[in-house]
Amino acid sequence: MVFDMRNIYLSFLGLGSFKKNMEQYVYDETVYELNGKKSGKTEFVQVAEIQILGARSFDKIVIAATQKSHDTHFENLKSQLLQAGAKNISHLIINEEMTPEAQWKWFEQILEVIESGDNLTIDLTHGYRSIPIIFSTAVNFLQKARDITLNAVYYGAFEKEKKLAPIINMKDFYIINEWAEAVSRLVEDADARKVAEAASKSDPFQAGELRDHELIAAFEDLTNAVRNVDIHNVPEKAAKTIQLIENKEKNASITGEILLKLITDKFTSITADKSLSGKYDKAYFDIQLEIIRLLLEHKLFMQAYTAMREFIGSIGLIRIEKAKINSSDGRKLRRRFAEVFVRMLQKEESGWRFEDQAKKDKEKLMPYYENLKSLGIESVLREFTKDLVNHRNGFDHAWSSKSKAYPDIEEKGQQFFKNLKKIVRLLEKNKILI
């Protein structure tokens, strides 16, 4: 079902200043200016904004007020809004209590009048105590939960000494919510895509160094490579991203510097340097371990288990001379020998059944396999390979062959990771991995 998007104007009504000679609360009259246009003289910034923006711009006007501020000003405000051409005007009574429970209730009351997909214009000039602050903080929630579009956030900068009060649109500052989410996504999920998205929405003065098309593309490429378990391309993409960041850091703003450092800290460990040979050597396995660590740290378990299974297959390629990650022929050898090696570890030798090309590949692997066996490395691998592959296959088939996902996925993932690090140490100790 598709709903028409409404244009909602939401404002807050306070008491103003108490005038002893009048024995009542009042707002001082002034002329407001917005976007080069002036309002008529009025004590209400809401009236000025409706005059300038046009009453037809809004389907509904909502004024949030305490009972006291409503009783003091609302009828006068409503009368002036009607004179300005407004039609659908409603009020919302907010409790004057300042307890956390009352503050939460304020937010939920306002939430009730805002529907999914609304276009929202807010004025925060007049409001009872912390109500504008609380609602201002909650804007991000509305953007995500109700998919609202924030058109403007106005503040009337009234000063008694000045005849003209400018109305400031603070909307651009609310991009900070996007940046906050981007940082959270980066720190918690190793996902730099939200940083790229926030950068593309921001003005140049807001961490403008991140508004670089090449850098944004690098963030997206790196994140996609990590989450798609493109393990052979992750190091190169990480290196490219870090290099671009280093170029930007030289003239970065304070905000930009913080964000760039977060990204650098997150991905430096999986960056490939020029010493990578393309072979299945110590440098290759060290980077693979870092990628697996990153995936487990951020609970990307399906990706981590896939990488760990491929890690075991890669161990079988150490002695296959032409097996390389940076050539087409080398990758073809991987598809053959890595799969056979994993199968050799999943079953006892008496249960091996290899035919055709797989049988020939098994025979080629046998001297290396026997070497691993004599060193006790094969037995360590065999202890956990079947269990690891079983867990990984659960993800691969969406657990459809099981009653439910295994409850020990995180715990086992960490244990498998420790086992893989142990294998690397044994291979290095015995001069198999150099």
Strands annotated E in 132-222:
149-156, 164-169
pLDDT of residue 94: 84
Whether the predicted pLDDT of 111 surpasses 60 = yes
Rounded average pLDDT over 10-27: 82
Question: Rounded mean pLDDT of 325-335?
Answer: 86
d(CA 209, CA 256): 7
Q: Between 77 and 27, name the one with better pLDDT.
A: 77
d(CA 432, CA 427): 5
pLDDT of residue 273: 63
Mean pLDDT of the chain, nearest integer = 87
pLDDT in tens, 237-260: 889 889 888 888 878 788 778 888
Q: Widest CA span of the chain, in angstroms?
A: 104
pLDDT-based confidence at residue 205 (cuts at 50, 70, 90): low
Percent helix / strand / coil, the chain, rounded to 5:
55, 10, 30
User: What does 52-104 look like in DSSP terms, one character per residue?
Assistant: HH-GGG-SEEEEEEEHHHIIIIIHHHHHHHHHTT---EEEEEE----SHHHHH
**How much is the pLDDT for 352?**
94
Percent of the chain with pLDDT over 90: 45
Mean pLDDT of 311-320: 94
CA angle 326, 329, 333 (to 5 degrees): 100
| Poorest-pLDDT segment among 3-12, 342-351, 408-417 | 3-12
Q: Average pLDDT of 9-38?
A: 86
The span from the CA of 186 to the CA of 180, in Å, is 10
**What is the CATH code of the structural domain delimited by 7-169?**
3.40.50.10640
Beta strand spans in 324-414 (E): none
Note the pLDDT of residue 84.
Answer: 95
Distances (CA, A) of 3 to 8, 54, 62, 117, 354: 14, 23, 20, 8, 61
Checking if the pLDDT of 232 tops 60, the result is yes
pLDDT at 100 over 60: yes
Going by the DSSP 8-state scheme, the letter that residue 349 receives in this structure is G
Q: Which range is least confidently modeled, 41-45, 69-73, 143-147, 158-162?
A: 158-162
**Residue 406 corresponds to which tokens in the numbers above?**
């295994």
Q: What is the pLDDT of residues 369-395, one digit of tens each?
A: 999 999 999 999 999 999 999 999 888
Q: Which of 328-342, 368-382, 398-412 has the lowest mean pLDDT?
A: 398-412
CB 313 within 8 A of CB 344: no
Q: What is the number of alpha carbons within 13 Å of residue 153 lying toward its C-beta?
A: 16
Backbone CA torsion sign across 261, 265, 271, 275? positive
Q: Does the pLDDT of residue 1 top 50, yes or no?
A: no
The full set of domain ranges for the chain reads 7-169, 183-274, 277-434
- Can you tell me the distance from the alpha carbon of 54 to that of 84, in angstroms, rounded to the nearest whole number? 8
Cα 409 to its chain centre, rounded Å, is 24
What's the confidence (pLDDT) of residue 206?
A: 64
Structure-token match 């450092």, residue found: 261
- For position 380, what pLDDT does the model report? 96
Q: Give the global pTM.
A: 0.70
CB of 223 closer than 8 Å to CB of 190: yes
Q: Which of 19-23, 32-36, 120-124, 161-165 has the lowest mean pLDDT?
A: 19-23
Confidence band for 2, pLDDT divided at 50, 70 and 90: very low
Overall average pLDDT of the 83-108 stretch: 86
Asked whether residue 221 carries a pLDDT value surpassing 80, the answer given is: yes
Tokens for 144, please give them.
Answer: 């995500």
Q: Is the pLDDT reported for residue 46 higher than 60?
A: yes
**Spatial CB neighbours of 386, under 8 Å, sequence gap ≥ 6:** 345, 346, 347
Mean pLDDT in residue range 165-188: 81
